[in-house]
Structure formats: structure tokens, C-alpha cells
Amino acid sequence: MKITIPLSPVGQRRARHTARGGFSRTYKDEKQRHEENALMAHLAAHVPEKPLSGPVALSFVAYLPIPKSKPKKWQAGAMSGEIRPTVTPDADNLAKHLKDCLTTMRFWEDDKQVVEMFAAKMYGDPRWEVEIRAI
């Protein structure tokens, strides 16, 4: 299954920690929850009737917005693919964010089923291009 999600890709944020009454508590940042809900809203139309079982291959390309502060020549190189993003978010944080949302939406039973993964970052119109397939 191939899915294009018209959202600007964001990576998984670090967990937040607090201590109250001598006990430590870990929670998700409010912005993280908002970003997950936005991604899951776009994924909702593509949820399979039954979660995939067995090994799964996941590949995605995260298209990040081209910085407007860069010169036109640089922007043209970014648009053509000659210049690739070496900025945050990291590809592994993007993958974690996407996998967590896909697991929550029950595309598969658990993300440990992902035995093959390809992740790429490019510049272009902000979007996710995701492909999921059973192996």
C-alpha cells in the first residue's frame, strides 16, 4: 500500500520528565501529541480492515520544506535533488514518529514486525510518501 500524506514531516520528540511527591513521571510533550494526531487523522482513511501479520517492509521519503532564506541557486539544487537535507529531524526520529502512529492506528500488530526499512529525506513540497508491504 502506498500513502501520500500532505503534512510537513516531523520527528519523534524526547519524552518529558517531572518529579512530584518524590515520584518521577514521564509524559509526551503536548506538541508531540498534536503532531501525532494530525498524522493519524491523515492515515485514518488507509487503515486496513485487519492488521498486517508477519514480517513487514516499511519505506518512506520525508520531503522537508526548502528554506526560503537560502539563495535561489541553492533552492534550485534542493528542488532537483542535488542538495539533500542534513538538518533535523534525523531520519531515525522521523521513522520512530511514523512507526508509532502506524502502530497506534493498527496497520500491524506491533512495530517489531518491521524487518525491512528504508528512510530518506529530500527537499520539496512538504509531505510523507509511505509504502507498507507484507513480506
Taking residues 31-43, what's their average pLDDT?
Answer: 90
Instruction: Say if strands 16-20 and 23-27 run parallel, antiparallel, or are unpaired.
Output: antiparallel
Residue 29 has pLDDT above 80, yes or no: no
Is the distance from CB of 83 to CB of 121 less than 8 angstroms? Answer: no
Model confidence band, residue 30 (pLDDT cutoffs 50, 70, 90): confident
Q: Which three cell numbers stand for residue 107?
A: 496497520
Q: Which three cell numbers stand for residue 39?
A: 498524522
pLDDT score recorded for residue 24: 81
**Which sequence spans correspond to the domains of the chain?**
2-134
pTM for the predicted model, two decimal places = 0.84
Give the tens place of pLDDT for each residue, 78-120. 999 999 999 889 999 999 999 999 999 999 999 999 999 999 9
pLDDT score recorded for residue 22: 80
Three-state secondary structure call for residue 121 = strand
Averaged confidence pLDDT in the chain: 91
pLDDT score recorded for residue 32: 79
Is the distance from CB of 85 to CB of 123 less than 8 angstroms? Answer: yes
pLDDT score recorded for residue 27: 64
**Region 2-134: CATH code:** 3.30.1330.70
Rounded CA gap, 119 and 18, in Å?
33
Main-chain dihedrals φ then ψ at residue 54, nearest 5 degrees: 85, -175
Three-state secondary structure call for residue 36 = helix
